[in-house]
């Protein structure tokens, strides 16, 4: 399941902390490459943050995992990166050093030997989809998981959505249907009760993600995030580390 390793790493931090936790998703550039960044943070007693996460380079879908901290005042942030969700005991592939404040994370990426590689800048403000119009019907699968996705959006207005999945070998399913829209900046959000499905523009893709949809799923089922390309083809957001 998506980000299972990262959740395993961060859950103990949440369990033993009385401070708040945050999840951030940001879009931006790493050097000349478009990238998607996810950060999971738990606040320390001194006001700083313990952080884990990952970034995915688009459109190659190369993935790097992150671990580090953010200072309590100026937002100074240092994140080691590697190819494993658990960085301890594994070689690092680089380090992101910069500042994270006001919804913007920017700075410089360094190589494993400390050499300067490239600048980066990420923001929580995703592109507007007010002009987005599409009618998509696609399927994606791997050995255990299969999903069908169909949606229609007209000039940024949600018209209809149906998203189903099945998980082998038990055959547990998820079924989400919606023709209702929930207000959202930087995307389109379908609502089906508490369950919501969000569409966001990430580079040359539309990222489709579900939130709070467990009631629409069998006990062993889930909705894996998907990427939809400009031709309407979809794939699971489960890239291999490269």
Which among 228, 223, 179, 182 has a CA at the least distance from the CA of 207? 228
The pLDDT assigned to 18 comes to 57
The mean pLDDT of the chain is 90
Domains and CATH numbers, the chain: 4-123 (2.40.128), 134-236 (no CATH)
Q: Is the pLDDT of residue 180 over 90?
A: yes
- The whole-number average pLDDT for the span 219-228 is 95
Number of Cβ within a 10 Å radius of residue 48: 17
Among 55-69, 78-92, 162-176, whose mean pLDDT is lowest?
Answer: 78-92
pTM metric for this prediction: 0.84
Give percent of the chain above pLDDT 90: 82
Please report the DSSP string for 181-206 in residue order. Answer: EE--SSSEEEEETTEEEEEEEETTEE
| Mode of pairing for the β-strands spanning 94-101 and 226-228 | unpaired
Q: Is the pLDDT of residue 1 over 80?
A: no
Q: Is the pLDDT of residue 9 over 70?
A: no
Q: Is the pLDDT of residue 239 over 60?
A: no
- The whole-number average pLDDT for the span 16-28 is 81
CA distances from 80 to 53, 65, 123, 225 (A): 10, 8, 19, 25
Each residue of 37-47: pLDDT tens digit? 999 999 999 89
Q: Is the pLDDT of residue 79 over 60?
A: yes
What is the SS3 assignment for 168-185? CCCCEEEEEEECEEECCC
The pLDDT assigned to 197 comes to 98
The pLDDT assigned to 19 comes to 63
- The whole-number average pLDDT for the span 158-167 is 98
Which among 126, 150, 146 has a CA at the least distance from the CA of 137? 150
Q: Does 4 or 68 have the greater pLDDT score? A: 68
Please report the DSSP string for the chain in residue order. Answer: -TTHHHHHHHHHHHHT--S-EEEEEEEEEETTEEEEEEEEEEE-TTS-EEEEEEEEEETTTEEEEEEEEE-SSS-EEEEEEESSS--TTS---EEEEEEEETTEEEEEEE-TTS-EEEEEEEES-PPP-TT--EEEEEEEE-SSEEEEEEEEEETTEEEEEEEEEEETTTTEEEEEEE-EEE--SSSEEEEETTEEEEEEEETTEEEEEEES-GGGB-TT-----EEE-TTS-EEES-PPP-
Under the banding of pLDDT at 50, 70 and 90, the label for residue 85 is confident
């Amino acid at each position: 399941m998506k980000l299972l390793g990262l959740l395993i790493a961060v859950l103990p931090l949440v369990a033993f902390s009385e401070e708040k936790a945050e999840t951030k998703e940001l879009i931006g550039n790493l050097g000349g490459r478009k990238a998607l960044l996810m950060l999971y943070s738990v606040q320390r007693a001194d006001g700083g943050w313990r952080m884990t996460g990952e970034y995915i380079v688009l459109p190659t879908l190369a993935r790097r995992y992150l671990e580090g901290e953010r200072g309590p005042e100026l937002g100074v942030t240092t994140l080691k990166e590697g190819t494993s969700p658990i960085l301890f005991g594994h070689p690092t592939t680089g380090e992101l050093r910069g500042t994270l404040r006001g919804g913007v994370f920017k700075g410089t990426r360094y190589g494993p030997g400390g050499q300067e590689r490239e600048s980066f800048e990420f923001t929580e403000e995703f592109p507007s989809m007010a002009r987005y119009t599409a009618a998509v019907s696609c399927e994606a699968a791997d050995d255990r998981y299969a999903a069908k996705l169909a949606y229609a959006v007209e000039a940024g207005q949600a018209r209809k959505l149906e998203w189903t999945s099945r998980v082998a070998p038990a055959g547990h399913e998820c079924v989400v249907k919606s023709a209702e829209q929930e207000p959202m900046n930087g995307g389109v959000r379908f609502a089906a009760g508490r369950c919501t499905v969000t569409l966001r523009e990430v580079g040359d893709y539309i990222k489709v993600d579900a939130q709070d949809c467990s009631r629409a799923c069998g006990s062993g089922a889930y909705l894996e995030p998907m990427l939809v390309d400009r031709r309407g083809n979809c794939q699971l957001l489960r890239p291999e580390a490269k």
